[in-house]
Amino acid sequence: MILVTLAQFFAANMNVMTKYLEMDGPHGPGMDPFQVRVLPHSVGCVYPESYMLEQWKF
């Protein structure tokens, strides 16, 4: 139950930060939603793949 609660907390936090980055404000003009969502997903995909390739030395 603790893991589910933590997952919900981080998902809600990510949603709030995404909305904040998409809005114009004191941090400058808002970012495109594509930029906000694709960069973390691409980093989250590349890192595990590089780790797996390092572990599977041919």
The confidence score (pLDDT) of residue 4 equals: 96
Q: What pTM does this model have? A: 0.56
> Amino acid identity of 29?
P
Domain count across the chain = 1
Q: What is the per-residue pLDDT across 11-34, written as a single tens digit (0 to 9) for each?
A: 999 889 888 888 888 878 988 888
Residues of the chain above pLDDT 90, percent? 22
Residue 51's domain spans which residues? 2-55
**3 state SS of 50:** helix
